[in-house]
């Protein structure tokens, strides 16, 4: 039996082929590991970015909720119909129903009407003016005082009284009393008395008022005088 001789060149070639195969496998393994690391890094960055996005979104959502909860919303406005069928806004009792100028003019008009009358129609006149200007208690007190101090003499002497301003009416103080807006006011006036037996005579008074908010559904102006004081000026 003859033995075969191995060709050294073939043996060398086989060794090189095996070496190349090992190198190729090593390269594939390294490439695989590299790709996995890239994929892992990309996934980690994506996950990190997504988490940051969620955090920022939650913060913004919380801020919006807090803003909406704390944001002061205007109260709905309420309106009613006045005597002429026109819409008129209804204000809460702790707020102004008129501007300062409107309130002062209203008070001046009331004071002048309350002090202007004639002997033949004084009570009829006051019975119309008093409910528009004074509260029930203040009105009763005003009429009672008028009947006790002026009415009889006015009828006997057929007197008439006419009031006019002696200066500007002013608001001296304002605030909230038992949940209602209230004002203190002063109005200087001159009252001239006319009668059949004497010459006209003028009297100066400082009218001190305390005015309070009332329901506009009962009285469209929303204010009435609840204290009326007359001081010689």
CATH class for the region spanning 95-232: alpha beta
Q: What is the pTM of this model?
A: 0.66
Confidence category of residue 173, pLDDT binned at 50, 70, 90: very high
> In this predicted model, what pLDDT tens digit does every residue of 139-155 receive, in sequence order?
999 999 999 999 998 98
SS3 at position 91: coil
pLDDT at 204: 96
pLDDT at 185: 98
SS3 at position 101: helix
What is the 3-state secondary structure of 31-78? HHHHHHHHHHHHHHHHHHHHHHHHHHHHHHHHHHHHHHHHCCCCCCCE
> In this predicted model, what pLDDT tens digit does every residue of 178-217 receive, in sequence order?
999 999 999 999 999 998 888 999 999 999 999 999 988 7
What residues are paired with 184 via a beta bridge? 173, 210
> In this predicted model, what pLDDT tens digit does every residue of 44-55 receive, in sequence order?
566 556 567 677
Confidence category of residue 89, pLDDT binned at 50, 70, 90: confident
> In this predicted model, what pLDDT tens digit does every residue of 20-59 receive, in sequence order?
565 566 666 666 665 666 555 555 566 556 567 677 777 8
Least confident of 60-64, 168-172, 219-223: 60-64
Least confident of 67-81, 86-100, 143-157: 67-81
Average pLDDT, the chain: 81
Closest C-alpha to 174, from 166, 182, 165: 182
Mean pLDDT calculated for residue range 112-139: 95
Domain ranges of the chain: 8-71, 95-232
């Amino acid at each position: 039996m003859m033995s075969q001789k191995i060709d050294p060149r073939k043996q060398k070639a086989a060794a090189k082929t095996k070496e190349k195969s090992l190198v190729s496998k090593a390269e594939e393994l390294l490439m695989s590991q590299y790709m996995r690391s890239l994929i892992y890094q990309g996934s980690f960055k994506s996950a990190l970015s997504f988490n940051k996005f969620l955090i920022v979104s939650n913060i913004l959502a919380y801020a919006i909720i807090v803003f909406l909860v704390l944001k002061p919303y205007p109260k709905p406005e309420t309106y009613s119909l006045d005597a002429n069928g026109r819409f008129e806004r209804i204000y809460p009792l702790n707020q102004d129903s008129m501007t300062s100028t409107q309130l002062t003019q209203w008070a001046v008009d009331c004071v002048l009407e309350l002090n202007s009358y004639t002997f033949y129609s004084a009570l009829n006149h006051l019975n119309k003016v008093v409910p528009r200007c004074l509260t029930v208690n203040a009105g009763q007190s005003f009429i009672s005082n008028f009947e006790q101090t002026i009415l009889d003499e006015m009828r006997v002497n057929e007197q008439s009284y006419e009031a006019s301003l002696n200066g500007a009416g002013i608001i001296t103080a304002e605030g909230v009393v038992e949940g209602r807006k209230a004002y203190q006011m002063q109005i200087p006036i001159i009252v001239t008395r006319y009668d059949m037996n004497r010459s006209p005579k003028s009297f100066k008074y400082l009218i001190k008022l305390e005015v309070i908010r009332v329901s506009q559904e009962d009285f469209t102006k929303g204010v009435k005088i609840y204290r009326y004081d007359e001081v010689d000026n």
